[in-house]
């Protein structure tokens, strides 16, 4: 089974996809194909060849899945024809071509309906839901997930049930209902552990970690990401490793350790480029741009944001587009081009409101508030104009604070409190400034305590040390074998 996971900056989703083929040597598959005479066996071997290549060479995967489809069409194998169409959809989803993935899944769905194949139908409904979630259409995604869940429950398919629980949980996460999201994800994690499903377990850890990060619990988030990374490395799951490396990098960035953040971003980017994952490449570009921004190399940051935006636009990924707009707004603010900064922030906000991304809405509210505060530093404004901008800043920061509290997102409460502190201080309302200063300090200490920072560093150090030790032991065993 292939799992696609949420990346932190916007967050990924769970895919119930392939039957679990054993790990195959491609040469042995070709040998079997040369000997095979049964039509179903020949079809199955083409599918296994595609499966072999899918995680690292999507073009080759597509070629062999297409061969399986053509064979099924020639031999009038109806069920196999539908399955080949489904697998071709997986490849398009892997590379971020979600509209094409939906087209293949929908065609497969019609084929499965004709032959009344409930298993095939359940897989199609779930994967169509996933593609719609990537495109930012959560209401449509939820409707497909609920249909899939009913089918999996009727089939008593525990893995299918777990996947649907995750996908529904992640829709709740998108909407800022983190407690409900964690409930669904934890239930799914328990099912995967009971079934000893390592890929499912890894994917659950990533998505649970993503929610903890949004809530401001980076220690719990990092623990989840490292648990997932260990599983993915043991399985050789390049896609999963790429997601985990990126998420660990984001935790480092959040803690201000840019050197380690960029190290992990480049690890993720290298894998994404290797396997042709356009979505992953775009997300890495966006996050690398963020590091350049914090280092005040803003021209370089804009270059990476634009590269990311171009890919997200080609993929039709609204969440990715909104994230890039937001980051470009921050870059133009740095250069003092406040009009262009506000334009990009408003474009980002519009998309996030369409998607009902409450965490994202709170983020942009805070950024607009900060922009209005920055504008008041201009010597060209008179006192009345400054007051007008500060009132706008207070309005946006208050909306960000209310939303942060509503979704229990501590980082957003912290940022909003800081903006309110700054705005009220500039207005000379020191009583309100003190109120929000206390709120800011309280939330900051919860997020960035020295004990938590130390614990985060120790977690990664321990993981890296364990990894090196395993490599040493592997080399030692190889030397001993070579001597024999």
Pick the closest to residue 367 from 413, 416, 324 (CA basis).
416
Residue 116: partners with Cβ closer than 8 Å, 6 or more residues away: none
Amino acid 205: pLDDT: 95
Mean confidence (pLDDT) of the chain? 88
Domain 357-448 has CATH 1.25.40.10: yes
Tens digit of each residue's pLDDT (9 = 90 or more) over 383-414: 999 999 999 999 999 999 999 999 988 899 99
Mean pLDDT of 290-313: 96
> Measured between alpha carbons, how far apart are the two ends of the chain, in Å?
38
Residue 435: partners with Cβ closer than 8 Å, 6 or more residues away: none
8 A C-beta contact, residue 221 and residue 213: yes
> For 320-330, b where at least 16 C-beta lie within 10 A, e where not — what string?
bbbbbbbbbbb
With cut-offs at 50, 70 and 90, classify the pLDDT of residue 435.
Answer: very high
Mean pLDDT of 428-438: 91
Integer Cα distance of 261 and 477 in angstroms:
33
- 344 compared with 477, residue with greater pLDDT: 344
The secondary structure of 72-104 as a DSSP string is HHHTT-HHHHHHHHHHHHHHHHHTT-HHHHHHH
Q: How many helices (H) and strands (E) does the chain have?
A: 22, 0
Tens digit of each residue's pLDDT (9 = 90 or more) over 263-279: 999 999 999 999 989 99
Q: Give the pTM.
A: 0.69
Structure tokens at 260: 């380690």
Tens digit of each residue's pLDDT (9 = 90 or more) over 52-73: 888 778 899 999 999 999 999 9
Tens digit of each residue's pLDDT (9 = 90 or more) over 75-121: 999 999 999 999 999 999 988 889 999 999 999 999 999 999 999 99
Q: How many CB atoms lie within 10 A of CB 430?
A: 11
Amino acid 10: pLDDT: 32
Integer Cα distance of 318 and 133 in angstroms:
10
Q: How many CB atoms lie within 10 A of CB 46?
A: 26
Residue 432: partners with Cβ closer than 8 Å, 6 or more residues away: 420, 424
Tens digit of each residue's pLDDT (9 = 90 or more) over 316-360: 889 999 999 999 999 999 999 999 999 999 999 999 999 889 999
Determine the CATH number of domain 237-349: 1.25.40.10
Q: Identify the three-state secondary structure at position 196.
A: coil
Amino acid 186: pLDDT: 96
Tens digit of each residue's pLDDT (9 = 90 or more) over 252-267: 998 889 999 999 999 9
Alpha helix ranges (H) inside 95-157 = 98-115, 118-134, 138-155
The secondary structure of 210-250 as a DSSP string is HHHHHHT-HHHHHHHHHHHHHHHHHHT-HHHHHHHHHHHHH
């Amino acid at each position: 089974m292939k799992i696609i996971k949420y990346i932190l900056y916007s967050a990924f989703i769970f895919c119930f996809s392939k039957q679990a083929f054993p790990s195959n040597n491609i040469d042995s598959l070709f040998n079997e194909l040369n000997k095979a005479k049964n039509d179903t066996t020949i079809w199955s071997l083409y599918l296994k060849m595609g499966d072999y290549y899918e995680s690292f060479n999507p073009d080759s995967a597509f070629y062999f899945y297409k061969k399986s489809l053509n064979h099924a069409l020639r031999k009038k194998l109806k069920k196999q024809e539908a399955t080949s169409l489904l697998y071709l959809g997986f490849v398009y989803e892997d590379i971020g071509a979600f509209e094409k993935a939906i087209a293949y899944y929908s065609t497969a769905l019609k084929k499965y309906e004709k032959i009344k194949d409930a298993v095939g139908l359940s897989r199609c409904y779930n994967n169509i839901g996933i593609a719609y979630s990537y495109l930012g259409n959560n209401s449509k995604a939820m409707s497909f997930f609920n249909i899939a869940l009913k089918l999996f429950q009727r089939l008593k398919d525990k893995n299918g049930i777990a996947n649907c629980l995750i996908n529904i949980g992640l829709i709740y996460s998108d909407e800022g209902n983190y407690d409900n999201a964690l409930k669904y994800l934890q239930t799914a994690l328990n099912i995967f552990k009971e079934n000893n499903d390592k890929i499912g377990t890894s994917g659950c850890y990533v998505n649970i970690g993503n929610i903890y990060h949004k809530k401001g619990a980076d220690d719990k988030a990092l623990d989840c990401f490292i648990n997932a990374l260990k599983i993915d490395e043991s399985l050789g799951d390049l896609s999963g490793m790429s997601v985990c490396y990126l998420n660990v990098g984001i935790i480092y960035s959040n803690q201000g350790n840019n050197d380690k953040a960029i190290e992990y971003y480049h690890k993720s980017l290298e894998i994404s480029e290797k396997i042709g994952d356009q979505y992953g490449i775009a997300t890495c570009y966006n996050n690398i741009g963020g590091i350049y921004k914090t280092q005040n190399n803003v021209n370089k940051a804009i270059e990476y944001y634009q590269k990311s935006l171009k890919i997200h636009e080609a993929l039709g990924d609204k969440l990715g587009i909104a994230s890039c707009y937001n980051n470009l707004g921050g870059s133009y603010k740095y250069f003092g081009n406040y009009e262009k900064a506000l334009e990009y922030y408003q474009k980002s906000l519009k998309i996030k409101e369409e998607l009902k991304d409450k965490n994202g809405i709170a983020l942009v509210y805070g950024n607009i508030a900060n922009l209005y505060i920055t504008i008041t530093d201009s010597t060209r404004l008179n006192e009345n104009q400054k007051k007008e901008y500060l009132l706008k800043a207070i309005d946006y920061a208050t909306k960000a604070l209310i939303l942060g509290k509503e979704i229990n997102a501590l980082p957003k409460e912290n940022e909003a409190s800081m903006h309110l502190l700054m705005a009220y201080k500039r207005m000379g309302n020191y009583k309100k400034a003190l109120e929000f200063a206390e709120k800011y300090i309280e939330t900051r200490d919860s997020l960035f305590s020295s004990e938590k920072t130390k614990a985060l560093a120790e977690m990664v150090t321990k993981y890296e040390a364990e990894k090196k030790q395993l490599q040493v032991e592997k080399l030692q065993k190889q030397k001993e074998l070579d001597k024999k």
